[in-house]
Amino acid sequence: MSVLDLARAEIRAMQPYSSARMEASGGAIMLNANESAWAPPGDDGLGCNRYPDPQPQALLDALATLYGVRSNQVLVGRGSDEAIDLLVRAFCRAGQDAIAIQPPTFGMYAVSARIQGAAVVEVPLSPSFTLDVDALLAALRPAVKLVFVCTPNNPTGQQVTQAEIVRLAQALSGRALLVVDEAYIEFSDAASVAGLINRYDNLAVLRTLSKAWALAGARIGSLLANEEVIALLRRIMPPYPLPRPCVDLALEALSERGQAIARGHVEVVRQERQRMRAALAVLPGVRQVLPSQANFLAVRFDDAAAAYQGLLGAGIVVRDVRRYPQLGDALRITIGTPEENDRVLTALQDVFA
């Protein structure tokens, strides 16, 4: 059985849109896409009067090298959100199919499913926010075509082991596509599971340049998967997803110099995460600091509303996650610079003094 048998038959059969840039490029005189012949003010040689390459080969090659896969196993788009949306649209028929998630987790999985008219099967994380593989597998029904697993999980920060991912991939073979979201993996002690996609054709991995690579504003995310899955999603992807300036920023970030800078910042975050967890844990008003392998800490408070307002009054914005299951007393605090983190500690001391 091919993993594409899980996808919507009408998507597999459709004739994709063929953009002008996909059909031809590189000529001396480009008159096939109804573009302006003149570059805009401030273009500085970028050529933004021309449509960009839908999947720039230089960026695909750089990402493939970074993630340890082949370039034809990479789909790059506007953040991980676009890949999530494409997966749901390609594999889930409205009113018939479903996805499975483990709340509390990243909200866009469910949002994308509901926009598509797909059901959402929820299998809550354990009270300690670990994944219960047995419970997840027991809850699945034939309608579930996509199983999303976020590791490290957002907003709780816990890690799912590679052994658990392997067990899920094996159990879901021929039944569903397992989508592992590794948006925060660079901050973790664990290795990526991207190397497993050659063993399991029903495994896909989400990666992003928004976090460790400091490119949240450029919106560059990747899906790593079986070549057939990548080719299918390219058929339904909008024709020009990647702005030229964003591609240039990504290539600079992935250069030797850029990677050295990113590694240095990641190490600072990891050190500060450890320091902040210890410092927050002894503050009055703090009930618990959840262990985290990401660039944030989920913190339980005696009065989370007061903590949130106190931080806001000090000019510090954190994420209020009280609406998430099992987190009714919690805030999520991103690890900032050492100076920013000190201000968080001072502000919370003032709130609960």
The model's pLDDT over 239-271, given as tens digits with 9 standing for 90+, comes to 999 999 999 999 999 999 999 999 999 999 999
**Confidence (pLDDT) at 28:** 82
CA distance 35 to 261: 37
- Interval 47-59 mean pLDDT: 95
Task: Tokens 């999520």: give the residue.
Answer: 332
Sign of CA dihedral 228, 202, 194, 92: positive
Asked whether the predicted pLDDT for residue 9 surpasses 90, the reply is: yes
Give the chain's mean pLDDT: 96
- Interval 175-188 mean pLDDT: 98
Asked whether the predicted pLDDT for residue 23 surpasses 80, the reply is: no
* CATH 3.40.640.10 intervals, the chain: 3-19+54-254
CB-based contact 24:32 (threshold 8 Å): yes
CATH class in words for 3-19+54-254? alpha beta
**Confidence (pLDDT) at 353:** 84
- 203 contact partners, CB below 8 Å, separation of at least 6: 165, 169, 177, 178, 180, 193, 196, 197, 225, 226
258-351 belongs to CATH 3.30.365.10: no
**Confidence (pLDDT) at 18:** 84
- Interval 161-184 mean pLDDT: 98
CA distance 228 to 221: 19
CB-based contact 240:53 (threshold 8 Å): no
Asked whether the predicted pLDDT for residue 27 surpasses 80, the reply is: no
- The amino acid that residue 180 corresponds to is V
* CATH 3.90.1150.10 intervals, the chain: 258-351
Convert 132-141 to b/e letters by CB count within 10 Å (16 or more is b): ebeebbeebe
**Confidence (pLDDT) at 156:** 98
- CB atoms under 10 Å from CB of 89, counted, come to 21
The model's pLDDT over 305-315, given as tens digits with 9 standing for 90+, comes to 999 999 999 99
Asked whether the predicted pLDDT for residue 19 surpasses 90, the reply is: no
CA gyration radius, the chain: 22
| 74 confidence band (pLDDT: 50, 70, 90) | very high
CA distance 231 to 75: 9
CB-based contact 353:284 (threshold 8 Å): yes
Share of the chain above pLDDT 90, in %: 93
The model's pLDDT over 75-134, given as tens digits with 9 standing for 90+, comes to 999 999 999 999 999 999 999 999 999 999 999 999 999 999 999 999 999 999 999 999
| 16 confidence band (pLDDT: 50, 70, 90) | confident
**What SS3 string covers the chain?**
CCHHHHCCHHHHHCCCCCCHHHHCCCCCCCCCCCCCCCCCCCCCCCCCCCCCCCCCHHHHHHHHHHHCCCHHHEEEECHHHHHHHHHHHHHCCCCCCEEEECCCCCCHHHHHHHHHCCEEEECCCCCCCCCCHHHHHHHCCCCEEEEEEECCCCCCCCCCCHHHHHHHHHHHCCCCEEEEECCCHHHCCCCCCHHHCCCCCCEEEEEECCCCCCCCCCCCEEEECCHHHHHHHHHHCCCCCCCHHHHHHHHHHCCHHHHHHHHHHHHHHHHHHHHHHHHHHCCCCEEEECCCCCCEEEEEECCHHHHHHHHHHCCCCCEECCCCCCCCCEEEEECCCHHHHHHHHHHHHHHCC
- Record the tokens describing residue 61, joined without a space: 């090659």
Convert 51-63 to b/e letters by CB count within 10 Å (16 or more is b): bbbbbbeebbebb
- The amino acid that residue 91 corresponds to is F
| 22 confidence band (pLDDT: 50, 70, 90) | confident
- Interval 154-173 mean pLDDT: 98
- How many Cα atoms within 13 Å fall on the side-chain side of residue 41? 0
Backbone phi, psi, residue 186, to 5°: -65, -25
